Amino acid sequence: MHHFFAEGYVLPNQIQIWWTCMIVLYPYITGIVAGAFIISSLYHVFHKEDLKPVARFAMLMALAFLLFAPTPLLAHLGHPERAFNIMFMPNVTSAMAGFGFIYLMYMLILVIEIWLLYREDIVFLSKNASTRVMRKVYWLLSLGVDDVSAEAKRLDHKIMMFLAAIGIPAACTLHGYVGFLFGSIKGNPWWATPLMPVIFLLSAVVSGIAMVLICYLAIQWVKKRPVDGACVQSLVEYLWYFLIVDVTLELLELINHAYMQNHDWEILKELLTQKLFFSLFVVQLGFGSFVPFVVLGALVIFRKRFSEKARSRLGFASAIILLVQVLAMRWNVVIGGQTFSKSLRGFLGFDIEFWGREGLLFTVVLFAMPFLALWVMSRVLPLWGPVSTFPKKYLRGGS
Amino acid sequence: MSGCDNDDKDTSRREFIKTVLDAGAKTFTFGSLICITAKLRLPEAGASDGVVQKELQMPAIYGFLVDTMKCIGCGSCVRADKAENDVPEQYFRTWVEQYTFYENGEVVVNSPKGASEGFAEKGRAFQPKGDEKPVKGFFVPKLCNHCINTPCIQVCPVGASYKTPEGVVLVDKKTCVGCGYCVQACPFGSRYIHPVTNVADKCTWCYHRISKGLKPACVLACPVGARTFGNVNDANSEISKALRENRVQVLKSYMGTNPRTRYIGLDSEVI
């Protein structure tokens, strides 16, 4: 059970922090979706050739995380069985009512794009997979379309380009919308800022790129495959760039609060200097932003002085720190915003529970699910390149 | 005889006029009755009781006025509300806050158990704090503000929070998904998620009572008349008179939610 404690005057109905681990996890997962998709689009739409080694993987990673994006929300609802009310009877003035539609639209774009991206491989595998069952599965996945002529592929490519192009604003909408959910709550001075959607979006991109980099390097190292230095360098550069813009805006928001000193500043000052000091100034800004800023900056500015190995290792470490940074940012927004009472005179305490629907264990299990989905996808589709990179044992005549 | 005839004529004329007037009056009365009956019958075609009132006069718009100058912090309202609405133990549809000002300028606010047991600890509501003596003190009853521009209805993703024609903000328990977004959006802490039904819950101004012409439980229970409820569209109602005769304020006016719950004697320390 939660242990509730409060200090100062807390409004009687605010006896507990209502949005906890699940609502921290939800923007964290959708953020990774947005970031991974943007990496994939940088290759597919903007033709950043350096990113080719991770372009397919990033797309499937976006899907894996998107599949589980609604699960923390579902787990949090008082009545999960009524979840579809949000689509059947949406209230047009509610930002939250947009979730189902934005989510479905984005899911549709992503699935069609992945299907087109893998269509040729799927058709090939429907004829050459190692078992009959798998050949049937691939045939079903191909939707019975086995035309892979040059003309058909040209059309595929055209549609893909179009979808990727609308996919970028869709990804921005999905995550900007998550920020708006918080930013539009005027009753909460720690949330209510038009910067919120922008900060959420940029930190989303940071976490997505970081996750792609981490998974790419980890898998290459485990599989003892060579790491593409140009690809790592490119990811490091994007990571650094988005980190700078993201942290600048995060700081801008803090400075704005401190400088304007509105009626809520008294309580916000205490929130920042007492309650969130460690998670905000130490974890999010000090360790989480400054260290990667310096390390990634060095990798970008002095790129020639680092060996490929050092670049990969430093990039990997920075990416892990940045995942912590973004998690801390989500925590500081979601939990921080509920730590003080709307009386603006008191604070609520919060201990993470281990068991239970909002507990740590369930949070970790839910966060592991996208990786499980990614593993399942890796059994069905080649993650890293054309079908020639697919393990031979999955092919007819393979060992 | 002719006189008699004349008299007879006069009499019959008088009779005639009387008959005509009588018939006219009866017709008018009967006609009016038909009209009224027709009007009264209209709502039977599926409308609610409120419609009768609407047809005959201006629609009722409810308001609530709290006179903080009168409140003694006894907590009767909180207890009455809990009993009337089966409010879960740890939550409150209405509560009373105590503000104590000390010599050194410090202001202490509290509301132990929502004031359901009052503040009469040690026989004195306003206690000294160490050596500091209280120099000023008052109580502020709080409840849902039933805002005109309400953020809770705005954010509800499924439209479970809604406003009645009388301006009362309610929650449809069968539709609410229990996301808690309205709880976050309410700047006043008036809402909570009911621990048993898992849906949003809040003060309804005792809608089940006021729709029958009764007063909310807290208003009835207040021994000092600190709470006034009524139709603000009726110029003769108690609340309309009180609103005319007093300078009133609302909580967190800067939020722009335009509350229908108004206050007499709010201090700037009250948030």
CB spacing of B177 vs A9 below 8 angstroms: no
Residues B187, B253 within the same domain: yes
Question: What's the pLDDT score for residue B42?
Answer: 41
Q: How far is B224 from chain A (nearest CA, A)?
A: 23
Residues B79, B181 within the same domain: yes
| CB distance A196 to A315 below 8 Å | no
For residue B271, the chain A residues in CB contact (below 8 A) are: 343-345
Please give the average per-residue pLDDT across A300-322, as a whole number. 96
Report yes or no on B205 lying in a domain. yes
Residues B190, B242 within the same domain: yes
Residues B172, B207 within the same domain: yes
Question: What's the pLDDT score for residue A35?
Answer: 94
- B75 three-state secondary structure: coil
- B156 three-state secondary structure: coil
pLDDT in tens, B215-237: 999 999 999 999 999 999 999 99
Residues B221, B263 within the same domain: yes
Q: Where are the domains of chain A?
A: 30-184+354-387, 210-253+262-350
pLDDT at A205 over 50: yes
Which residues of A sit within 8 Å Cβ distance of B? 9, 11-15, 18-19, 73, 76-80, 82-83, 85-86, 89-91, 93-97, 99, 181, 184-188, 263, 338, 341-345
| CB distance B78 to B114 below 8 Å | yes
CB spacing of B186 vs A187 below 8 angstroms: yes
Q: How far is B162 from chain A (nearest CA, A)?
A: 10
Query: Tokens 């922008």 label which residue?
Result: A198
* CATH number of the domain bearing residue B174: 3.30.70.20
Q: For residue A7, give the H/E element and its range.
A: strand A6-9
- B189 three-state secondary structure: coil
Sign of the four-CA dihedral B15, B18, B21, B27: negative
Residues B46, B149 within the same domain: no
Please give the average per-residue pLDDT across B101-117, as a whole number. 94
B158 at A interface, C-beta within 8 A: yes
Question: What's the pLDDT score for residue A386?
Answer: 83
pLDDT at A28 over 60: yes
Bigger pLDDT: B52 or A386? A386
| Range in A94-98, A242-246, A285-289, B47-51 the model is least confident about | B47-51
pLDDT at A164 over 70: yes
Burial code of A278-314, b = ≥16 C-beta within 10 A, e = fewer?
A: ebbeebbbeebbeebbebbebbeeeeeebeeeebbeb
Please give the average per-residue pLDDT across A132-143, as a whole number. 94
pLDDT at A181 over 90: yes
Bigger pLDDT: A344 or B6? A344
Please give the average per-residue pLDDT across B64-92, as a whole number. 96
Question: What's the pLDDT score for residue B256?
Answer: 96
Q: How far is A71 from chain B (nearest CA, A)?
A: 13
Report yes or no on B220 lying in a domain. yes
Residues B159, B260 within the same domain: yes
Q: How far is B113 from chain A (nearest CA, A)?
A: 7
Residues B23, B73 within the same domain: no
Q: How far is B41 from chain A (nearest CA, A)?
A: 33
Bigger pLDDT: B148 or B6? B148
Helix/strand/coil percentages in chain B, nearest 5: 35, 20, 45
The nearest alpha carbon in chain A to B197 belongs to A78
Q: Which of B177, B196, B255, B267 best probes binding to A when mutated, by most A CB atoms within 10 angstroms?
A: B177
Report yes or no on B121 lying in a domain. no
Give the bridge partners for A7, in sequence order.
A347
Q: Are strands B62-67 and B261-264 parallel, antiparallel or unpaired?
A: parallel
Q: How far is CA A97 from the centre of its chain?
A: 21
Percent of chain A residues topping a pLDDT of 70? 98
pLDDT at B48 over 50: no
Bigger pLDDT: A45 or B240? B240
Bigger pLDDT: B263 or B122? B263
Query: Tokens 């579809």 label which residue?
Result: A84
| CB distance A79 to B200 below 8 Å | no
pLDDT at A305 over 60: yes
Confidence of residue A171 (pLDDT cuts 50, 70, 90): confident
pLDDT at B39 over 50: no
φ, ψ for residue A90, nearest 5 deg: -70, 140
Confidence of residue B37 (pLDDT cuts 50, 70, 90): very low
Mean pLDDT of chain B: 86
Please give the average per-residue pLDDT across A347-374, as a whole number. 93
- A239 three-state secondary structure: helix
Bigger pLDDT: A323 or B3? A323
Question: What's the pLDDT score for residue A396?
Answer: 84
For residue A357, the chain B residues in CB contact (below 8 A) are: none
Can you spell out the DSSP letters for A137-158?
A: HHHHHTTT-----HHHHHHHHH
Q: What CA–CA distance (Å, rounded) separates A249 from B207?
A: 46
Question: What's the pLDDT score for residue A340?
Answer: 96
pLDDT in tens, A86-109: 999 999 999 999 999 999 999 999
Confidence of residue B60 (pLDDT cuts 50, 70, 90): very high
For residue A96, the chain B residues in CB contact (below 8 A) are: 155, 157, 179, 181
Question: What's the pLDDT score for residue A37?
Answer: 94
CB spacing of A13 vs B190 below 8 angstroms: yes
Residues B202, B262 within the same domain: yes
**Angle made by CA atoms A74, A173, B162, in degrees to the nearest 5:** 55
Residues B7, B71 within the same domain: no
Question: What's the pLDDT score for residue A222?
Answer: 96
Question: What's the pLDDT score for residue B127?
Answer: 85
Question: What's the pLDDT score for residue B251?
Answer: 97
Please give the average per-residue pLDDT across A151-166, as a whole number. 91
Confidence of residue B23 (pLDDT cuts 50, 70, 90): low
| CB distance A376 to B221 below 8 Å | no
CB spacing of A95 vs B90 below 8 angstroms: no
- A47 three-state secondary structure: coil
Residues B35, B67 within the same domain: no
Domain encompassing residue B19: 2-51
HSE-CB at A333 with a 13 A cutoff on CA atoms is 29
Question: What's the pLDDT score for residue A349?
Answer: 87
Long-range interactions of B146-150: CB distance < 8 A, separation 24+: B146/B62, B146/B64, B146/B203, B146/B205, B146/B259, B146/B260, B146/B261, B147/B257, B147/B258, B147/B259, B147/B260, B148/B257, B148/B258, B148/B259, B148/B260, B149/B256, B149/B257, B149/B258, B150/B257
Please give the average per-residue pLDDT across A152-175, as a whole number. 90
> Residues with Cβ < 8 Å from A274, sequence gap 6 or more?
none
Q: What CA–CA distance (Å, rounded) separates A322 from A28?
A: 12
DSSP class of B215: P
Please give the tally of structural domains in chain B.
Answer: 2
CB spacing of A78 vs B90 below 8 angstroms: no
Residues B9, B84 within the same domain: no
Question: What's the pLDDT score for residue B62?
Answer: 97
Question: What's the pLDDT score for residue B51?
Answer: 46
CB spacing of B159 vs A185 below 8 angstroms: no
pLDDT in tens, B241-253: 999 999 999 999 9
User: CB B233: neighbour CB atoms within 10 A?
Assistant: 16
Q: How far is A181 from chain B (nearest CA, A)?
A: 9
Phi-psi region at B129: left, alpha or beta (left = phi > 0; alpha = psi -120 to 50): beta
Question: What's the pLDDT score for residue A3?
Answer: 43
**Structural tokens at position B223:** 């021994």
Mean pLDDT of chain A: 93
pLDDT at B44 over 60: no
Q: What CA–CA distance (Å, rounded) separates B9 from B244?
A: 61
Question: What's the pLDDT score for residue A356?
Answer: 85
Query: Tokens 């949090």 label which residue?
Result: A76
